Amino acid sequence: LFYTLYFQIILLGYSIGTAAVADLAAINPDGLIGVVLVAPFTSGLRLFGKKPKEESTSRLDRFTTYDKVPKITVPVLVCHGGADEAIPVEHGLEIAKRAPRAVSPLIIHGADHMSIFNGRYLQTFRRIRRFLEEEVDLDHDNENNNNSVKEG
């Protein structure tokens, strides 16, 4: 018998977790069909230097989402609060601009860093649901999205 298993993976990261998600998504793991980044930042030093659009990344920067996002080959959804003081919305907009397959981002003008994802703004979860139902890449590289098990 020959079994083929298909995995469909959607990565979701929030705040500092968006850096880890971008790192993983940039290597295009088998089965990846979508990425959600909630309150992402372009890079650590860009965040602290208040320069989200700075083109060159310092070698000292350990969080380099700015450089990783262009390597992500599946749809990317960015959600960000317009009143986020921890990670200004310009970071999220820059990430969305750099993602080759970005879908329309969600910017909630009254939301801050915590309220964008703590249930206060249901728009966040509605937008993520729409992304999952309508915009993820269900047919992305099906040849690489399987693991086969052969029994003899």
Element (H, E) at 24: helix 17-26
Q: Which two three-digit tokens encode residue 116?
A: 């964008």
Q: Which domains does the chain have, with CATH numbers?
A: 8-139 (3.40.50.1820)
Least confident of 42-51, 110-119, 130-139, 141-150: 141-150
Question: Residues 15, 61, 91, 140: which is the catalytic one?
Answer: 15
Residue 150 has pLDDT above 70, yes or no: no
Give catalytic status of residue 15 as yes or no: yes
Q: Which residue is associated with the tokens 């977790």?
A: 17
Other C-beta atoms closer than 10 Å to the C-beta of 68 total 22
Give the model's pLDDT for residue 137: 82
Residue 8, CA distances (Å) to 44, 58, 130 in order: 30, 34, 16
29 pLDDT band, cuts 50/70/90, is: confident
> Which of 84-108 are b and which e, b meaning 16 or more Cβ less than 10 Å from the residue's Cβ?
beebbbbbbbbbbebbeebbebbbb
Average pLDDT of the residues in 109-137 = 97
Among 80, 91, 113, 140, which one carries the catalytic annotation? 113
What is the pLDDT averaged over residues 19-43? 93
Total Cβ atoms within 10 A of residue 144? 11
- Active site (annotated) includes residue 137: no
**pLDDT of the residue at 45:** 63
Three-state SS across 43-57? CHHHHHCCCCCCCCC
Where residue 7 falls among pLDDT bands split at 50, 70, 90? confident
**Coil, strand, or helix at residue 126?**
helix
Kindly indicate the confidence band of residue 46, based on its pLDDT and cuts at 50, 70 and 90. low
The answer to whether residue 113 is catalytic is: yes
Catalytic residue among 43, 80, 84, 112: 84
Give percent of the chain with pLDDT exceeding 90. 65
- Compute the average pLDDT of residues 95-116: 98
- Point out the least confidently predicted range of 23-27, 47-51, 94-98, 129-133: 47-51
User: Residue 81: beta bridge partners?
Assistant: 108
Contact 68, 98 (CB under 8 A): no
For the chain, state the CA radius of gyration.
Answer: 17
